[in-house]
Amino acid sequence: MRKISLKAKIVTIVLLVFFGVAPATSYFVIGYFKDRLQESIQNQQVILVSRTASELDFKISSAQRMLVSVALSIPEQVVRDPRAAERFLYERSFLSMYFDSGTFLLNPGGQLIAETAWKPSRVGRDYSFREYVKDTLATGKPVISAPYVPRTLHHPVVMFTAPVFGSGGKLIAILAGSTDLYKDNLLGDLSTARIGSLGYFSLYDHEGVVIMHPVRERIFSPADKQAEGMTARIAQARRGANVQGELGQRDGSRTLSTMKKLGSIDWILAASYPVEEAYAPVQRLVRLSWWIMGCGGVFAALLMWMTMSHLISPLLSLTRQIRQLGASNGDLPMVRIDSNDEIRETAEAINGLLERLRLKEIEKETIQKDAMQTWHLASLGEVAAGVAHEINNPINGIINCAQILAAEPCLSEPERGVASRIIKEGERVAVIVRSLLSFARYEGRERVPAYVPDILNDTLELTRVQLKRDGVQLHVDLPSDLPALLVHPHQIEQVFLNLISNARYALDKKFSAGAGGGKRLDIKGEKIIGDDGVFVRIEFRDNGTGIPRDVIGRVIDPFFTTKPAAEGTGLGLSISHGLISDHGGRLKVESVEGEFTRVMIDLPVMTWEDEYGQKGSDSRG
């Protein structure tokens, strides 16, 4: 059967209208167009709500994971010292990205140990009556609270918690983060989002209480006060269904509503699009139809054909492109609509969601690529260890043979000198092989006492030849009486290697690669005493290109690098910073672009308590 276009149908109907059936025919045409428009809008709304729910789930899960990761890093001594706990929280300022009303540390009795939200401090205040405290203590798991209004803030907030466990697996504290529902944050952003011009999002808990709404006065009110039958629809959405349809609001208006349950928590996300705005094209069509019925038959049919071509084309194009999106297996193309009405606004909203989805895919690919590179580096370390083993045996054989040869009394002095040279160079190769083997070996043991000069010497065994070949003047100033450290030596060696590699790159970039001409790398150490203890400071200073002032604050961020894409991953300083932090130390970068870069590492001195359970400190005397 031959397909009849919508335009042909409408023109035919217009002709029949002029022969006496105009009112009834107009009613059916407009009804058909309204149904198709409603179906298209509802399909788009389902896609929009699903993607918005996924983004909201991702934000909530990210906030919860971040809080749990920080809770896992809290030492037991920090829990016992309120000042140390407060300092610990302020040093984790990145938590404020999600918890804009502050972070808190509570003991198992519900008393406040430290916080970042209130001055003067409220340390000691009892919050054991809060449900989130009770639930965390009862389950030993992270909890997201129902909204409530704190006595000091007078704004509704949601509290995220994560249990803090001691070395014996006992719960020793609760880490909590507070999100203000009146602010622009992972939840508050929802109140400013718009669907079209007047559409909006809202959020409800499992009991049908409003958590988030563009009208603040409606927060905490029952859902049935907003619209008829809301509680029943919320209950249906909680069972996993996408609930959609028209809703009658208490103010007399009607909206196209779509509801979806979040995956990360038992909350319901709802999108409401006013029927008046959604069906605005239909209303315009009604007025146009009455005008056309007053004109002549042929002229009316021609005008209707042209008008419907203009009105329906963007909608059909939008529907066709949405179908193509569903069938796309690769990059999602942008929806292109040549109109200036609500359909274009809807297309722009879809394009915004597609763009955010594309950026997330790029970010995911970048993380996967960097993870693969890290795996390749680990594999290279295993290969290096195998090669080192293979080289070590013949080198030992060469040295033994040369020693036997040198002991022969019949050799002349020049020949004996050659044998000695073979022994010397063979031992030098053996030292390098042992250093490479030691560095490539997986370090899974506990921390051991070690001295900075020994670790640096092992590092320089791997890099001294490269530095000399590049013409770098190396100046090492390490006092012989530097105290011992309790560290993973190979991890600290990894940090030193990274800093020396960065210095070589900066020097080669400023000066011609492989040439001298002023290349200088200074490494020095000293013991420092501060309010927080005794440290050994190791300083690496080069006179290379330096770091621009506008990016120096980001050099320790993961995946950030000033090197070209093929030369750097942006992981070196980030990993180094993490290793030093795991050792209870600090890593600080200072630089003046074009002049120098100085990296200072402070590592805590090993105390007698670390090794023998007694006070005191160890040094080389």
pLDDT band at 212, cuts 50/70/90?
confident
Q: Report d(CA 127, CA 130) in Å as an integer.
A: 6
CB 378 within 8 A of CB 442: no
495 burial level (CB within 10 Å; 0-12, 13-18, 19+)? buried
Q: Is the pLDDT of residue 438 over 60?
A: no
C-beta separation of 354 from 332 below 8 A: yes
pLDDT tens digits, one per residue of 104-115: 999 999 999 998
Q: What is the DSSP letter of 545?
A: S
* CB contact at 8 A, 272 and 46: no
Among 20-34, 205-219, 369-383, where is mean pLDDT lowest? 369-383
- What percent of the chain is helix, strand and coil (3-state, nearest 5)? 50, 20, 30
For the stretch 552-586, pLDDT in tens is 877 777 666 666 654 554 456 777 888 888 889 99
Q: Is the pLDDT of residue 528 over 90?
A: yes
Omega before 558 within 30 of 0, i.e. cis: no
Q: What stretches of 444-571 show up as alpha helix (H) in DSSP? A: 452-469, 489-510
User: What pLDDT is stored for residue 621 in this prediction?
Assistant: 42
Name the helix (H) or strand (E) containing 586: strand 586-592
535: confidence class by pLDDT, cuts 50, 70, 90: very high
Strand-pairing partners, residue 538, are 525, 601
Decide if 310 contacts 288 (C-beta within 8 A): no
Higher per-residue confidence, 368 vs 88: 88
Tell me the pLDDT tens digit for each residue of 458-488: 888 888 888 888 889 999 999 989 999 999 8
Q: Report pLDDT digits (tens) over 314-349.
A: 767 767 767 766 666 656 666 676 666 676 777 777
pLDDT per position as a tens digit, 582-613: 889 999 999 998 899 999 999 999 886 665 55
Q: How far apart are CA 346 and CA 322, in angstroms?
A: 12
Q: Please state, for a pLDDT cut of 90, what percent of the chain lies above it.
A: 20
Kindly report, residue by residue over 133-152, the tens digit of the pLDDT. 999 999 999 999 888 888 77
Q: How far is CA 296 from CA 26, 300, 342, in A?
A: 16, 6, 31
Range from 207-221, 287-301, 515-529, 559-573 carrying the lowest mean pLDDT: 559-573
- Measure the CA–CA gap between 394 and 386, rounded to whole angstroms: 14
Angstrom CA distances, 315 to 40, 282, 286, 334, 343, stand at: 9, 12, 17, 15, 7
Distances (CA, A) of 549 to 440, 499, 591: 35, 19, 8
Instruction: Pick 38 or 545 by higher pLDDT.
Output: 545
The dihedral through the CA atoms of 314, 359, 268, 180 has a sign that is negative
Number of neighbouring beta carbons within 10 Å of residue 4:
9
CATH fold for domain 445-511+518-604: Heat Shock Protein 90 (3.30.565)
Three-state SS string over 263-322 comes to CCCCCEEEEEEEHHHHCHHHHHHHHHHHHHCCCCHHHHHHHHHHHHHHHHHHHHHHHHHH
Q: pLDDT by residue (tens digit) across 503-522? A: 888 888 888 755 556 899 99
Residue 606 CA neighbour count, 13 Å, CB half: 20
- Give the orientation angle of helix 413-440 with respect to helix 342-406, to 10 degrees: 150
The β-bridge relationship of strands 254-261 and 268-274 is antiparallel
Q: What is the pLDDT of residue 517?
A: 67
Round to whole Å and give the CA distance between 607 and 192: 55
Which residues are 592's β-sheet partners?
Answer: 596
Question: Which residues have CB under 8 Å from 547's CB, separation 6+?
Answer: 555, 562, 589, 591, 593, 597
d(CA 480, CA 148): 60
Return the pLDDT at 401.
83
- Tokens at residue 167, please? 């070395």
What secondary structure does DSSP assign to 110-150, as a single string?
A: SBEEEESS-SS--TT-B-TTSHHHHHHHHH-S-EEPPPB--
The full set of domain ranges for the chain reads 26-296, 354-441, 445-511+518-604
H helices of 73-122, in order, are 76-80, 82-91
Is the pLDDT at 186 greater than 80? The verdict is: no
Q: Can you tell me the mean pLDDT for 247-268?
A: 82
pLDDT at 171 over 80: yes
Four-way CATH pick for 354-441: 1.10.3470, 3.40.50, 1.10.287, 1.10.1470:
1.10.287
Reported as a single tens digit per residue, the pLDDT across 70-81 is: 999 999 899 999
Give residue 382's pLDDT: 65
Mean pLDDT of 93-113: 90
Predicted model pTM: 0.41
Same fold, 26-296 and 354-441: no
Q: What kind of architecture, by CATH, is found in domain 26-296?
A: 2-Layer Sandwich (3.30)
Those residues whose C-beta lies under 8 Å from the C-beta of residue 272, and which sit 6 or more positions away, are 195, 199, 200, 201, 202, 247, 255, 256, 257
Give Cβ neighbours of residue 231 (< 8 Å, ≥ 6 apart).
Answer: 208, 222, 223, 224
CA 364, CA 382: separation in Å to the nearest integer?
27
| pLDDT of 54 higher than 50 | yes
Higher-scoring residue by pLDDT: 177, 431: 177
Interval 236-253: pLDDT, tens = 888 877 888 788 777 778
* Predicted pLDDT at 443: 47
